[in-house]
Structure 1
Amino acid sequence: MSPAQAVPARQVMVLYTGGTIGMQATANGLAPASGFEQRLREQLAEHPDLAIAPWRFRELLPLIDSANMTPQYWQRLREAVVQAVQADGCDAVLVLHGTDTLAYSAAAMSFQLLGLPAPVVFTGSMLPAGVPDSDAWENINGALVMLAQGVAAGVQLYFHGELLVPTRCAKVRSFGRNPFAALKRSGGVARADAVPAALAYDQPKALGNVAVLPLFPGFGAEPLQAVLGSSVQALVLECYGSGTGPCDNPGFIAALKAAHESGVVIVAVTQCHEGGVEFDVYEAGSGLRAAGVLAGGGMTREAAFGKLHALLGAGLPVAEVRRLMEVDLCGELA
């Protein structure tokens, strides 16, 4: 299947990770609950007019609140998707996931599943299935219908009737039916001519050690040194505006240079919802480049974090990781 093709699904695997969509009340508040497959079947039986493909269901145990999502879990999720496509005969996958870290997971899977010849759609809900005014069934049903109509290979995020590119969106609201939005990022580059074989979806990935650190007024060398001293392999540095930082702070710049020289990959993204990193606009930006920081262009925090995990997990040399961070692989810099 060409990545540009949208072929109707014939068999869908529904992977249930937990999250609000299947939560039920406990003494300590809402928590993920098993038994969601039966609830889904009963709900779909009430809507026989829905044009959906045959589907199978798998729980990824233990079910989790997405606030507990980890890169280790992403590895399990990648393996489950690959198994569904390669071993279970499914040509599409629907992932049910909590919304708090859904954008992170969908972005990460965009890089973990490069080249997968099937669509993978993430969805969730802001209210549990079955409660008044819940958006759970409309999101699941809508995603299943869309897969039956045909979705291009690759990872997508579906919410409230809309497909979003995971590497270009974020959760921007903690309420309502439209928590996710495409961010108006800029700073695009040409797409990579070829993807290293180690990044292919069917290749095992090791765990990377990546951190995220936002700048704030008065930011100095100390918090940066604390993070860089924790054995991280890479750092997403959330900068101001078009990619600026406290370049008049010698300790800050020295810490960046030392980390770069020791092989830590540091990527700058903007804290703004719109625009992107362009180092050469301001001296406070070009100083970051001189210290070895890479320009993340229009990448979101979630995309940069997930991309670094994939590149480092593939065991690529640091020089290759640095090169690929500034090349578009799946729409993150388009």
Structure 2
Amino acid sequence: MNIEDFDYHLPEELIAQTPLKDRTSSRLLVLDRQTKNVKHEHFSDIKKYLKPGDCLVLNNTKVLPARLYGIKENTGAKIEVLLLHQKEEDTWEVLTKPAKKVKKGTVLVFGDGLLQATCVGFKEHGGRILEFSYDGIFYEVLDQLGEMPLPPYIKEQLPEEDKDRYQTVYAKEEGSAAAPTAGLHFTSELLNEIKEMGVTIAFITLHVGLGTFRPVSVDKIEEHEMHSEFYQMTKETADTLNKVKENGGRIISVGTTSTRTLETIRRDHDKFVETSGWTDIFIYPPYEFKAIDGLITNFHLPKSTLIMLVSALVDKDTILRAYNEAVEERYRFFSFGDAMLIL
């Protein structure tokens, strides 16, 4: 299948640059998988499409303030570092810019010496392995020095008072380089209302890496290689999801990250189990979903692996038709944009 099959025209002014004041006031495009009909709602209307016995699966990963600005100790040259994932206690895989200036043994200094890092290795695609040194607790130092790594299509950093808007209200497990943005539309109040309806809320963890958002650089999508991301499912969540399946309930995944975790576990174990590991699952048409019955997601970049995933859940032509309708209706796109419900 060709990468150009997943392209669509998006006017730049529809790329949301800031979050809405009220998380639940985003618009919601509802797509029926059977009839392929589209309805236009607001996110607060999502309760109309849920029913007792359903289960919403949320990714409780927490975005790190993972972008650091420092200098080379010996030259003072400016270096930007983006933390990708923790390999050992003080050792991280990172991206550096400019990468060519960071060689093995290079020492980087952040915050007038509050944090230092030594390059101890290399990774493919320009990645580096840094070993950090500091006094105190690493995450507290990171909170002091780091910035939230917003996607490149968002042109400005959020003001201090809006920093929590790039976190879900249920974010708990630190480790992501990007937010699972489908969950940004939920408030604690809305989740409580959904639970009161008899809908179960379950949590998984997938630490979102930048590999998910890297552009596909091959013409034939079958040749694209996904980067691995760490996931975890607890026994409580596994038991909950197995029970929902046994009782004929629907599992509705909140976001592509939750979807990839659930599909990985069902693929590997034929049921939900307590487990953790690394997944590089790449979902594109045709694909038979084993875990989910529905999906809440944002609108994704043209020719991205994420639009391929949602195209596998319905079909490519229907998804692109829905996206084009969203463009005509002036929906807001990408991380801070509007949402889509596929049932």
- Note whether the superposition's TM-score is higher than 0.5: no
Give the structure-2-normalised TM-score. Answer: 0.25
TM-score using structure 1 length: 0.25
- Identify the structure with bigger relative contact order (alpha carbons < 8 Å, sequence gap 6+): 2
Higher strand share: 2
